[in-house]
Amino acid sequence: MKINGAQIIIECLVEQGVDTVFGYPGGQALNIYDALYKNSDRINHILTAHEQGASHAADGYARATGKVGVCIATSGPGATNLVTGIATAYMDSIPMVAITGQVPNSLIGKDSFQEVDIAGITMCITKHNYIVKEIKDLAKTLREAFYIAQSGRPGPVLVDIPKDVTAALYDYQYEVPKSILPVTETIHEKNLQIAVDLIKNAERPFIYSGGGIIASGAQKELLQFAEKISAPVATALMGLGGFPETHPLSTGMIGMHGSVASNKGVTECDLLIAIGARFSDRVVSDVNKFAPHATILQIDVDPAEVGKNVPALASIIGDAREILNKLIPLVPKQENKEWLEKIQSWRDKFKYTYQSGDTLRPQFIMNNIYDQTQGEAIITTEVGQHQMWAAQFYKYTKPRTFISSGGLGTMGYGTGASIGAQIARPDERVVHIAGDGSFRMNCNELCTIAHYNVPVIIVIMNNTTLGMVRQWQTSFYDKRYSQTDLDRGPDFILLAKAYGVKAYDVTTQDEFVNAFEEAWTNREPVVINCHIDKDEKVLPMVAPGAAIDNIILD
């Protein structure tokens, strides 16, 4: 039967198992929104305060579930407002489909009202993008978009659809979505055997685990593999939750603000096994001094990552879960007793710690959140010092429980992401950790949280400054605090109340404990504004460009 293009979009979304989309309407997306109105019983639409919030919410939805997140916007500024969210998803390999309205075909290229070449703009921050100029190509393109977003190394795909295409009529027939199969054709026996030989001969093996473990669902296999070869496991920021941090082999996060055990472990190991990790500059720092004694074995689904930042002697290309399942029966059981004792000595001597006392400190806040939630919350973050405290002082034991912008470092990301994560997993609880600087950027999404009664607990680490930038200015710019003081509004308590969200203003440990306990119990949207000192530091720290074991502890 013939239906219009807007209805074809709805049918394709339902085909793909989409139950929720995030967006904001506009002139060139009106046909799509009319179809959403008529199909509100089939697809839940969340109206955000801003298109950027919609893109971050779709991203958070995807990170919390592993499914494709979907956002919709109109042409021109609506589409360009998605760009930061699309780039955020691209840098962290998050499956997303962004659907944008476009001016009619007859007006394209004429500088028409609200016309931009969004496909051209997003070319370098999408896995693929499309302009659908004919109705006959619409369903096929949408199906391809979802397949590309999920297959191989995940990523965002943009589909730009002119308004006349959404109005045109065409035959539609249901199709079963194409199966997403793990990449296995590139896993060669020769490379597996090389890896086995390297592991057999290693006396100090060390595993560096990234977001690829979570993307492939390989957390159980990683645990089994690490236990069999007795290798400590350090995680990248995007890998948090991929290996249980309560396990004796876990050394925690690696990199600029990683643990001493992780950074020293990678420096002294003789075999570094990197799995689903891209050797970011925030992990590697001085590439010439990174893992200086180690042979590097790199396991990744994307061949372009192998040797890109750090030379790898050996590699296996393919899905991490499939590769580990092939390696586990091939590698011998190992003990590495002396190596593990050395790792443990670093863990014991250099724990993440702080001087507590009675002062309300960010480290105490994260420890108390962990205690009160018993490690069962989904933690979302903005970007900055609070992000690192959330990474350091909350123990992640399950995948998809730490949701944060890693590669792009997007301030303003977390509030939208917390909405997406909470809607995606309604039976779980989301705690959003924000800095006052980041929270200002997209605090308008409080109206979304309030309207849909999304029971997110927002904890603001309010130090009245851009904390991470100030920390760098203190350490490397002789305390020249250029434009980092945020000694201005808004009053976050009044702001929250203006949107109809309950809020607490806390200055002491007891006040925080009581406020969080009440928020956790009542299951409703809450803002907790925590006043902390503006000179709090994130430690340990490696200075940019220094060797990764050149660690500032105090």
DSSP state of 107: G
Angle in degrees, CA 398, 183, 185, rounded to 5: 145
- Select which of 51, 221, 305, 322 is catalytic: 51
> 114, 224, 334, 509: which is the annotated catalytic residue?
114
Q: What number of H helices and E strands is found in the chain?
A: 23, 22
Instruction: Mark whether 114 is an active-site residue.
Output: yes
Which of 2, 38, 113, 123 is flagged as catalytic? Answer: 113
Residue 68: exposure state from Cβ atoms within 10 A (0-12, 13-18, ≥19)? buried
- Indicate which residue of 127, 163, 264, 537 is catalytic: 163
Is 512 annotated in the active site? no
Phi, psi of 253 (to 5 degrees): -70, 150
Whether 355 is catalytic: no
Report whether 464 contacts 534 (CB < 8 A). yes
CA nearest neighbour of 320 among 205, 175, 423, 222: 222
CB 315 within 8 A of CB 291: no
The answer to whether the peptide bond before residue 154 is cis (omega within 30 degrees of 0) is no
Q: Phi first, then psi: what are they for 458, rounded to 5°? A: -100, 115
In Å, what is the CA distance from 297 to each residue of 189, 205, 211, 270, 316? 15, 10, 17, 11, 8
Give the H or E element holding residue 128: strand 128-131
Half-sphere exposure of 74 (CA within 13 A, CB side): 18
Residue 100 CB neighbour total at 10 angstroms: 30
Known catalytic residue at 351: no
Residues 6+ apart with CB under 8 A from 321: 182, 216, 217, 218, 221
Q: Is 220 a catalytic residue?
A: no
Alpha helices in 295-435 (DSSP H): 320-327, 337-349, 362-373, 385-393, 414-424
DSSP, collapsed to helix, strand or coil, labels residue 327 as helix
Which residues are part of the catalytic machinery? 51, 113-114, 163, 468
